[in-house]
Amino acid sequence: MKHLSMALIGVVLSVMAGPSHAAEPTVVNAADGIFKAFQTHPLVGMRDAHGWAQQEDLYASVLRDPRFAQDVRNLVLETGNVAYQDVIDRYVNGENVPYTEVRKVWADTIGFSPTVFSMGFINLYATIRSINMTLPASQRIKVWLGDPPVDWSKIRTKQDMKSAGDQRDTYPAQLIAREILAKKMRALVIYGFDHLRLGPYSDKQNLLVQTNATNPGAFFIISPYLGYATKDCEETFEHHIKGWPVPALISPVRGTSLEGDIAKHGCGPFPLSSTVADEQFDALMQDYTGLTSDALLYLGPREQQVCSPAMPDIYLDLDFRAELERRKQIRSNKPILGFTARENSSTPQRFWPTGQCLFQP
């Protein structure tokens, strides 16, 4: 009877306590969350949705924050050809470098087609230059260019591109290991989604995988909230967004009330494809929605996400355009589509439904 009474008391206490709930994630101002991550990880990896204006504006605001120059000081970028590392070093340290020379830093990359064109990314170099001019030389921000060296004047065939193309993850992984981790330094690493992906559908040799192999746990990975392709999926998740600051960093996602709603079956930023198995789609969408990352970056609802303007050189500088056309033929045997003043309007263009801003394979 005594044992029965104790059991009944346990049931009553359980009912009084109500149903168990998963913990709520911590939601903080994005910059505060990023700098807090640097307290426990030497590398913070920002998974970049190429061409998204709000994300590029966030990068600039983080760089302008005095904590960056004081506590981090290193930036590793996918959007720069390391063959021009000396050029960008001179430029961000205040030297008078001709624009056509500086432009080669981002325009001559191997990984972007027809080139790096997003003004938000291009402006980062000018942002760093202006910050550095206010700092002593020993405290200035260092930009590390992560795209492997390539001399486009010597590229004539797709095979000529292969050597550099094969190093797009290996080169930055070795750079980070040698110049950042081996020297006990910190760095903000801004790279596209696939370079900072883990899981069954990740490239086995991507930047994150290679870094983890030699320095496990060095990276704190942040994925941006891209929204959902279907309204019901979006509504299921967005009821969590109550009073979140913009921009916000949400961490962790796994093990919290967000986990079940962020990666429901068939839900993701892209529509369910009939050519992809359901389980493969769900695994990929868990990655794109941020479930496999350390934190989720919230920059506002999906319908407010817009494209960064494109570099007008692509249509104003006819010699430059001709060279880009030559490269495009080598890459894909196709002409450049668009990239005229018509497509590059003054009115902000929505990032969705395509999820890309003019980028062409």
Cβ contact 137:94 at 8 Å: no
**Contact 337/361 with Cβ under 8 angstroms?**
no
- Smallest CA-to-CA distance from 327 within 289, 279, 361, 285 is with 361
Q: In terms of Cα–Cα distance, which of 30, 33, 40 is closest to 61?
A: 30
pTM value? Answer: 0.91
Q: How confident is the model at residue 93 (pLDDT cuts 50, 70, 90)?
A: very high
Kindly tell me the burial class for residue 41, based on how many C-beta atoms sit within 10 Å of its own C-beta (0-12, 13-18, 19 or more): middle
Q: Output the CA angle 279-281-285, nearest 5 degrees.
A: 120
- For residue 182, the model assigns a pLDDT of 98
Q: Please write the tens of the pLDDT for every residue from 196-227.
A: 998 665 667 899 999 999 999 999 999 999 99
Report d(CA 205, CA 192) in Å as an integer. Answer: 14
What are the sequence ranges of the domains in the chain?
Answer: 23-228+242-258+291-332
Q: Calculate the CA dihedral of residues 126, 173, 216, 252 and round it to 10 degrees.
A: 40
Residue 196 main-chain phi, psi, to 5 deg: -120, 45
Mean pLDDT value of segment 95-116: 96
Closest CA to 201 of 101, 103, 319, 285: 285
pLDDT grade, residue 239 (50/70/90)?
Answer: confident
Residue 17 reports pLDDT greater than 60: no
Of 78-87, 93-102, 119-128, 229-238, which gets the smallest average pLDDT?
Answer: 229-238
> What is the C-alpha to C-alpha distance for residues 293 and 299, in angstroms, rounded to an integer?
16
User: Which pLDDT band, with edges at 50, 70 and 90, does 21 fall under?
Assistant: low
pLDDT one-digit tens code per residue, 282-309: 888 888 888 889 999 999 999 999 999 9
Segment holding 191, helix H or strand E: strand 187-192
pLDDT tens digits, one per residue of 127-179: 999 999 999 999 999 999 999 999 999 999 999 999 999 999 999 999 999 99
pLDDT value of residue 203? 63
Q: Are 78 and 190 in contact (CB under 8 A)?
A: yes
Residue 55 CA: distances (Å) to CA of 143, 219, 246, 338, 346: 18, 19, 11, 23, 19
Rg (Cα) of the chain, in Å, rounded?
A: 23
> 348: Cβ–Cβ under 8 A, 6 or more apart, which residues?
53, 306, 307
Q: Is 78 helix (H, G, I), strand (E, B) or coil?
A: strand
Burial of residue 325 (CB within 10 Å: 0-12, 13-18, 19+) is middle
**119, 201, 350, 352 from 49: Cα distances, Å:** 14, 18, 13, 12
Second-level CATH architecture of 23-228+242-258+291-332 = 3-Layer(aba) Sandwich (3.40)
Across 86-105, average pLDDT: 98
Instruction: Kindly list the strands in the beta sheet with 26-29, ordered across the sheet, starting from the edge strand earlier in the chain.
Output: 26-29, 248-251, 295-298, 219-224, 43-48, 187-192, 74-81, 142-147
Q: What is the DSSP string of 225-276?
A: ----SSHHHHHHHHTT-SS--SSEEEE--TTBTTHHHHS-TT-SSSPPPTTS
Please, are residues 193 and 203 in contact by the beta-carbon 8 Å criterion? no
| Separation between Cα atoms, residue 277 and residue 275, nearest integer Å | 7
